[in-house]
Amino acid sequence: MESPAYNFPDVNKILQAADRIKHHINKTPVLTSHSINAAFHCEIYFKCENFQKVGAFKARGATNAIFLLDNSSLVNGVATHSSGNHAQALSWAASLRKAKAFIVMPSNSSKVKVEAVKNYLGTITFCKPTLEAREATLAKVIAETGAIEIHPYNDLRIIAGQATAAKELIEEIPALDILMAPVGGGGLLSGTALSARYFSPKTRVIAAEPEQANDAFLSFTQKKFIPSVNPNTIADGLRTSLGTLTYPIILDNVHQIVTVSEKSIVMAMRFIWERMKILIEPSAAVPFAAILEKKVAVSKMKIGIILSGGNVDLDKLPWITKK
Amino acid sequence: MESPAYNFPDVNKILQAADRIKHHINKTPVLTSHSINAAFHCEIYFKCENFQKVGAFKARGATNAIFLLDNSSLVNGVATHSSGNHAQALSWAASLRKAKAFIVMPSNSSKVKVEAVKNYLGTITFCKPTLEAREATLAKVIAETGAIEIHPYNDLRIIAGQATAAKELIEEIPALDILMAPVGGGGLLSGTALSARYFSPKTRVIAAEPEQANDAFLSFTQKKFIPSVNPNTIADGLRTSLGTLTYPIILDNVHQIVTVSEKSIVMAMRFIWERMKILIEPSAAVPFAAILEKKVAVSKMKIGIILSGGNVDLDKLPWITKK
Over residues A85-107, the pLDDT tens digits come to 999 999 999 999 999 999 999 89
Query: Would you list which residues of chain A are within 8 Å, Cβ to Cβ, of chain B?
Result: 29, 31, 34, 50-51, 53, 55, 270, 273-274, 276-280, 310, 314-315, 317, 319-323
Residue to substitute from A111, A277, A314, interface B, most B β-carbons within 10 A: A277
Confidence grade of residue B322 (pLDDT, cut at 50, 70, 90): low
Q: Which of A104-118, A303-317, B114-128, B200-214 has the lowest mean pLDDT?
A: A104-118
Q: How many other β-carbons are positioned within 10 Å of the β-carbon of residue A22?
A: 13
The strand pair at B78-81 and A302-307 is best described as unpaired
The strand pair at B256-260 and B204-210 is best described as parallel
pLDDT for A97 equals 97
Q: What is the DSSP letter of B177?
A: S
Chain B partners of A273 at a C-beta cutoff of 8 Å?
Answer: 279, 314
Instruction: Enumerate residues 6+ apart whose C-beta is below 8 A from B4.
Output: none
How many interface pairs between A and B have CB atoms less than 8 angstroms apart? 55
B53: distance to nearest CA of chain A, Å?
9
Chain B partners of A279 at a C-beta cutoff of 8 Å?
Answer: 273, 277-279
A283: distance to nearest CA of chain B, Å?
15
pLDDT tens digit sequence for B280-307: 999 999 999 999 999 999 999 999 999 9
What is the chain A residue with the closest CA to B28? A31
pLDDT above 90 coverage of chain A, percent: 89
| pLDDT tops 90 at residue A65 | yes
A277: distance to nearest CA of chain B, Å?
5
CA distance B38 to A297: 45
State mean pLDDT over B140-145.
Answer: 98
Confidence grade of residue B320 (pLDDT, cut at 50, 70, 90): confident
Task: Decide which of B3 and B262 is more confident.
Answer: B262
**Binary contact (B317, A314; C-beta < 8 A):** yes
The strand pair at A30-31 and A43-48 is best described as antiparallel
A255: distance to nearest CA of chain B, Å?
31
What is the chain B residue with the closest CA to A307? B277
CA distance A176 to A191: 17
Q: Which of A278, A319, A320 sits opposite B279 (nearest CB)?
A: A278
Chain B partners of A270 at a C-beta cutoff of 8 Å?
Answer: 314
Question: What domains appear along chain B, each with residue ranges and CATH number?
Answer: 11-56+159-307 (3.40.50.1100), 59-149 (3.40.50.1100)
| pLDDT tops 60 at residue A1 | no
CA distance B42 to B200: 19
ipTM score = 0.93
**Binary contact (B314, A279; C-beta < 8 A):** no
What is the chain A residue with the closest CA to B32? A51
| pLDDT tops 50 at residue A302 | yes
Summarize chain B as % helix, strand, coil (round to 5).
45, 15, 35
pLDDT for A5 equals 57
pLDDT above 70 coverage of chain B, percent: 98
State mean pLDDT over A131-153.
Answer: 96
**Binary contact (A320, B323; C-beta < 8 A):** no
Q: Measuring CA to CA, which residue among B248, B255, B257 is closest to residue B196?
A: B255
A132-149 burial: b if 16+ Cβ within 10 Å, else e: ebbeebbeebbeebebbb
Task: Decide which of A313 and A262 is more confident.
Answer: A262
Confidence grade of residue B1 (pLDDT, cut at 50, 70, 90): very low
SS3 B208: strand
CA distance A312 to A153: 21
pLDDT tens digit sequence for A157-204: 999 999 999 999 999 999 999 999 999 999 999 999 999 999 999 999
Q: What does the mean pLDDT of chain B come to?
A: 95
The enclosing H or E element of B57 equals none
pLDDT for A111 equals 84
Confidence grade of residue B194 (pLDDT, cut at 50, 70, 90): very high
| pLDDT tops 80 at residue A109 | yes
What is the chain A residue with the closest CA to B320? A315
pLDDT for B108 equals 85
